[in-house]
Structure 1
Amino acid sequence: MNEPIELSEEQQNKLEAARRRVIETVGKNMELYGVTLSVGYLYGEMFFKDHAVTLDEMGKIMGMSKTSMSTGMRTLMDLKMVNKVWEKGTRKDLYEVEWDWYQTFVDFFNVKWRKLAETNMHAVKRSIREVEAILAAEETPEEAIPHLQKDLLKMKEAVQYYRWLGKLIDTFEDGSIFEMIPKDEP
């Protein structure tokens, strides 16, 4: 299953249980971010490898088809959690995990949150223009104006939030987040 090391059978069983616990936890955590449990397990299995792996090797370990492995690996590469590597004398594609978990989180956070913030900001700004147009229309009933103004205020507060979120994302992209919250040293 994982890299063989010289341990007693009892120690080996404990090590495998400890690894399995980490793999399951990683898989479940990644599921929270929209990554399937099986892709999370794939990453977890790769985490304990001391060498780059092929799709065939991981397919055997995971009990999954090469197509499923390819899809999972592509997902992990898109999230910058896995890198394709080259090894002299090997014709098959090789993959290894990105070992810098800080950078992995930053990349994942930026990809997901930047898109979300931009999409939501666009929708809110469009809605603001539409509500402002309703407010400006002569046929808008007087009794509707306070409700429309409340909605407009809520939407403008949402814009403020998305601007703040953009600044937060910027701190991850430029690395200044680590000046505010330093990385733990081993």
Structure 2
Amino acid sequence: MAGEQGEKKDWEKYEETIEKFIQVIAKNMNLYGMTPSVGRLYGVLYFSDEPMTLDGMRDALEMSKTSMSTGVRVLSEMKMVESTFKKGIRKDLYQSEEDWYKSFTSLFGNRWRQHTETNIEEAEEAVEELELLVEKTTDEQLIDKITKDIEKLRYAQNYYKWLMEFISVVESGKIFEFIPKRPQNKK
């Protein structure tokens, strides 16, 4: 009996420790534009020994099937979760992408590329509008201010172009030539 109680406490401590780490994952998901619930979903899948169905995830997280389905779709789009099949099981099964480096490069590239492309377009539109205004106005102070601001916008455009190159280095995996993946620690 005493041995069983000790083992039960060990399992409880294990579950508490894993749950704490899943909470860390959930909190960090906002860095990638995702909600904590999506982070918890990923954490549960990551620590699951077997692929899970939406029903299994819903039971583990006490979330609605709709929320679960939306979370899985978001994680799939970010290549953090993939569907899988198991003979004899008709429901869709999902498992986490275990290569966090791959997930990061996909997630980082996807998020940053969208925003950077928008910033490049917005900067170009601002330059075009300011150039039209320079042609139209006779106010020398305004012309001087616009000229300086166009220089700042050109600087911003160069930065965004550099950022696009950086994003390409991350997405292509070339980043690992400069900063190699860390080998898995096995104690």
Instruction: Tell me the amino acid that sits aligned with residue 92 of structure 1.
Output: K
Q: Distance in 1 between matches of 2:125 and 2:141?
A: 24
Per-residue CA shift, 1:97-142, capped at 9, x if unaligned? 00100000000001101111101101101111111111122x3311
Which residue does the alignment assign to 2:165? 167
2:51 pairs with 1:63: no
Distance 1:184 1:36 in 2: 28
Describe the superposition over 1:33-70 as per-residue Cα deviations: whole angstroms up to 9, x where unpaired.
22111111111111110111000001011111211111
Q: How do 1:6-85 and structure 2 match up within 5 A?
A: 8-85=7-84
The DSSP-based 3-state class of the residue aligned with 1:60 is helix
> Going by fraction, where is helix more abundant, 1 or 2?
2
Structure 1 counterpart of 2:3: none
Aligned residues: 179
Q: In structure 1, what residue type is equivalent to 2:68?
A: M
Q: CA–CA distance in 1 between the matches of 2:115 and 2:10?
A: 46
Decide which of 145, 148, 159 is 2:146's aligned counterpart.
148
What amino acid maps onto 2:159 in structure 1? Y
Alignment RMSD: 1.2
Residue 78 of structure 1 and its aligned partner are, at CA, apart by 1.1
Counterparts of 1:118-129 in structure 2 under 5 Å? 118-129=117-128
**Letter of the 2:157 counterpart:** V
In 2: Cα distance, 1:49 partner to 1:142 partner: 67
Give distance in 2, aligned partners of 1:163 and 1:88: 48
Contact 1:171 1:177 survives alignment (8 Å): yes
TM-score by structure 2 length? 0.92
Aligned partners of 1:171, 1:180: CA distance in 2, in Å? 10
Provide the rounded CA distance (Å) in 2 between the counterparts of 1:143 and 1:115. Answer: 36
Deviations 1:138-159 (A, max 9, x none): x331121121112111111110
Aligned counterpart, 1:3: none
Give the distance between the partners of 2:165 and 2:97, measured in 1 at CA.
Answer: 26
| Partner AA of 2:150 in structure 1 | L
Q: Structure 1, unaligned stretches of length 5 or more?
A: 1-6
Give the structure 2 partner of residue 102 of structure 1.
101
Between 1:158-167 and 1:27-36, the stretch displaced more is 27-36
Q: Which runs of 5+ in 2 are unaligned?
A: 1-5
TM-score (norm 1): 0.92
Give the distance between the partners of 2:96 and 2:86, measured in 1 at CA.
15
